[in-house]
Chains A and B, each alone.
Chain A
Amino acid sequence: MALRELKVCLLGDTGVGKSSIVWRFVEDSFDPNINPTIGASFMTKTVQYQNELHKFLIWDTAGQERFRALAPMYYRGSAAAIIVYDITKEETFSTLKNWVKELRQHGPPNIVVAIAGNKCDLNDAREVMEKDAKDYADSIHAVFVETSAKNAININELFIEISRRIPSTDTNPSTSGKGFKLRRQPSATKRSCC
């Protein structure tokens, strides 16, 4: 079975739950008192997708403003970017839109963008309507889910959807079985953000 390394970065405002999403996905655990990330933290997890193994190299970036300038190092070469916002904080959704703009201008041309509205367990405090976010995501051809790292809602689904959107190497026999090239994406794919 072919193993593909897929670089994935998480972007978004500070405190929206990027690290918690990764912890839930990789460790299946949740810690409400997680420390703010410095620079970025790195984790991996391998999942099977159809007849391939996808090894996610996950760069979970710091949301704090002072690390903002480092982001290009993490999205450079990424197959996918997960942009996270907090459904209970309107302003985190605006930050998300800025990230989408930045990726469009400077990110890899065929990067799969996924939008995660985290903390959906806190529906009472909701500030961002699911429909609004969904419409926005559709308009940029991004994956969209509302997630709860705390209650383990839609976390695996998010990554499965990313696997699904990443072009299979089978479409290009010359690269299959011999690693892959992220940039080699069949032109038929319309789902990417650009």
Chain B
Amino acid sequence: MSLRKRDEIDGVGGSAKLAGSPEAPEERVPGRCLSLLPWDRFSAWLHCVCVVGFDLELGQAVEVVYPQHAKLSDKEKTNICYLSFPDSNSGCLGDTQFCFRFRQSSSRKLSWHCLLDQFDRDLPIYLKKDPAYYYGYVYFRQVQDKTLKRGYFQKSLVLVSKLPYIHFFHIVLGHIAPEYFEKNEPFLEAACSDIDRWPSPVPGKTLHLPIMGIVIKVRIPTCHDKPGTTEVLQTAHQPATQISIALPTIHEVDLFRCFLPVFFHIQMLWELVLLGEPLVVMAPSPSESSETVLALVSCISPLKYYSDFRPYFTIHDSEFKEYTTRTQAPPSVILGVTNPFFAKTLQHWPHIIRIGDIKLAGEIPKQVKVKKLKNLKTLDSKPGVYTSYKPYLNRDEDIIKQLQKGVQQKRPAEAQSIILRRYFLELTQSFIIPLERYVASLMPLQKSISPWKSPPQLKPFNQEEFMKTLEKAGPQLTSRLKGDWIGLYRHFLKSPNFDGWFRTRRKDMTQKLEALHLEALCNEDLLFWSQKHSEVETVDLVLKLKDKLADGENLPAKPGTMEKLQTHIDSIILALPEDLQGILIKTGKT
């Protein structure tokens, strides 16, 4: 608590306090969230920190869970154990960083979840927490150590979190893990106590996060940011990294580097991800598999990838059977694997990306043809994309040329990534704008909203009607790309990504309708209405209004609407006989 207060005193710090920045969260939350307990701040960022080691008799084992009271089911522990170590003996000597994702096996709520839900609301859709999954961010060290029986020191420090802030946690781990391996227990205690003093992860605010002698400055994006315009923190005043680091992003991966091995197929991969096709990435190490999977998932941003994805997946994973069974068609998931065993297990999958050994940045692989799946041998297959998929859209040669030129001119990798990200963004936007426009037309007209009737319903999504709009207002307005756009849309409308996207849109629009309805209701003279109606009808109205008041907190209504509603309720109640007043004031209050 005190930390926040001090940050405020320190207003001179420039970016920290901008006009209009949201006030400190503690002051705007409902009463039941007011008091933070020890570890509440910590749990807003992390579920727990685990240390996974290798026991000669037990194999991989969770040695430490911090804080000690953090709950993990046995299944979760087993998953963490296996996912925190490189799967096959891929010779990951030295230090390796990667991340994985695993299913939460029992539901648990935080003591101040209401506050966290509030932050979640302001996040862009692709950064919202998935209630069913955790991320594990791993720093794995394997070094020769003659003093140990096994001959090797093998240990992972794992941050378990709901937050998909991949880059941020990568930096945090890179700072704390090497020191942890030298200093052990008290170090973890100190690091966790630092995290427990961090400000809440409020989107849109510059956060100063002190950890083990440095301050990491980050800004979590909001859903109100314009896509593609990452509000980069000022880095001009960047002092030595031993003092503070300002991160330009919390979640973005190095797109260009990740896609380099499959450079010529990026547009086809974009289609496969957009359509939620089953995809497996076979990579030589967990860091490459996880990076590639995360790059794939993010290439359709600002669209959210709604199916499951596993940046690193092993044969020990609790969903192994579910995902690899041959009795059903491959599921709509993206898996990143390293174990050669998967080449056989997933032979029946329609799209396989095989990444070879690490390529140095700046080297573009020679033109790799899309390969027939039947050519995929279980072991030692050449890098490339194995699929029989025919892309709907013609390939954009310009982006390939532009990036190739960048390589020749030694353009920095960050700049290449920005170009690639913008290309994907424009492509996704060209694709989604016609859908957005059509879905917006499903909203009933404002005049059809009557305060005395229930809010009107959204019109249903009609595929043929939508297809007709494409003639005049299709992607050709914003994209030069030719090809079978119609076919792509038809396929997309059947995909889980469309389903997830449309459900989210429908929910937003329904809430908007309810908000408009509520505003219309508040503009009526409700007291006058109640005086012209029977007591029973008035009581009924009051109860309904009270329900709306309780549900209304989450509606995107104009500011002041809820206050207006309260005033209406109060004045109607006051006009009623005294005995009824008493009863009505009490009802609905908890």
A and B: real partners?
A: yes
Give me the interface of A with B, judged by CB distance under 8 Å.
3, 5, 7, 9, 26-27, 38-46, 53, 55, 57, 59, 62, 66-67, 69-70, 73-74, 76-77, 178-183
CA–CA, A3 and B236, complex, Å: 12
Query: Does B69 belong to the interface (CB within 8 Å)?
Result: no
Q: Is the CB of B215 within 8 A of A42?
A: yes
* Closest Cβ–Cβ distance, residue B64 to chain A (whole Å): 16
Query: Does B243 belong to the interface (CB within 8 Å)?
Result: yes
Query: Which label, helix, strand, loop or mixed, suits the secondary structure of the A interface?
Result: mixed
Contact residues in B for A59 (Cβ distance below 8 Å):
210, 213
Q: Is the CB of B6 within 8 A of A27?
A: yes
What would be 20 A-B contacts, judged by CB atoms less than 8 Å apart? A7-B242, A7-B243, A26-B6, A39-B186, A39-B187, A39-B193, A40-B212, A42-B210, A45-B6, A55-B13, A57-B244, A66-B186, A67-B190, A70-B183, A70-B190, A73-B212, A77-B240, A77-B243, A179-B237, A179-B238
Please give me the residue from chain A that is nearest to B241 by CB atom: A77
Please give me the residue from chain A that is nearest to B14 by CB atom: A3
Please give me the residue from chain A that is nearest to B179 by CB atom: A73
Q: Is the CB of A42 within 8 A of B197?
A: yes
Contact residues in B for A179 (Cβ distance below 8 Å):
236-239
Q: Is the CB of B244 within 8 A of A39?
A: no
Q: Is the CB of B3 within 8 A of A42?
A: yes
Q: Is the CB of A69 within 8 A of B186?
A: yes
Contact status of A40 and B213, CB under 8 A, knowing A67-B186, A76-B242, A180-B239: yes
* Closest Cβ–Cβ distance, residue B67 to chain A (whole Å): 12
Contact residues in B for A77 (Cβ distance below 8 Å):
213-214, 240-243
Contact residues in B for A27 (Cβ distance below 8 Å):
2, 5-6, 9
Contact among A38, A44, A76 for B190, CB-based, below 8 A: A38
Contact residues in A for B13 (Cβ distance below 8 Å):
3, 44, 46, 55
CA–CA, A3 and B13, complex, Å: 8
CA–CA, A26 and B3, complex, Å: 11
CA–CA, A42 and B212, complex, Å: 9
Contact status of A44 and B237, CB under 8 A, knowing A5-B243, A57-B215: no
* Closest Cβ–Cβ distance, residue A4 to chain B (whole Å): 8
Please give me the residue from chain B that is nearest to A47 by CB atom: B12
Q: With A26-B6, A55-B10, A73-B212 given, can you name 17 additional A-B contacts, CB distance below 8 Å?
A: A3-B237, A5-B239, A38-B189, A38-B190, A38-B193, A39-B194, A39-B212, A44-B13, A53-B12, A55-B12, A59-B210, A67-B190, A70-B190, A77-B241, A77-B243, A178-B237, A179-B238
Q: Is the CB of B183 within 8 A of A182?
A: no
Contact residues in B for A181 (Cβ distance below 8 Å):
239-240
Please give me the residue from chain B that is nearest to A76 by CB atom: B242
Task: Give B198-230 as 1s and 0s: 1 = Cβ < 8 Å from A's Cβ atoms.
Answer: 000000000010101111000000000000000
CA–CA, A69 and B13, complex, Å: 31
Please give me the residue from chain A that is nearest to B210 by CB atom: A42
Please give me the residue from chain A that is nearest to B212 by CB atom: A73
Contact among A41, A46, A73 for B12, CB-based, below 8 A: A46
CA–CA, A180 and B7, complex, Å: 22
Contact residues in A for B237 (Cβ distance below 8 Å):
3, 5, 178-179
Most buried by A among B9, B213, B236: B213
CA–CA, A17 and B248, complex, Å: 38
CA–CA, A43 and B2, complex, Å: 9
Query: Does B127 belong to the interface (CB within 8 Å)?
Result: no
Contact among A55, A62, A74 for B213, CB-based, below 8 A: A74
Contact residues in A for B5 (Cβ distance below 8 Å):
27
Contact residues in A for B236 (Cβ distance below 8 Å):
178-179
CA–CA, A26 and B189, complex, Å: 25
CA–CA, A70 and B10, complex, Å: 27
Please give me the residue from chain A that is nearest to B215 by CB atom: A57
Please give me the residue from chain B that is nearest to A53 by CB atom: B12
Contact residues in A for B242 (Cβ distance below 8 Å):
7, 76-77
Contact residues in A for B189 (Cβ distance below 8 Å):
38-39
Query: Does B364 belong to the interface (CB within 8 Å)?
Result: no
Query: Does B250 belong to the interface (CB within 8 Å)?
Result: no
Contact residues in A for B193 (Cβ distance below 8 Å):
38-39
Q: Is the CB of A43 within 8 A of B213?
A: no
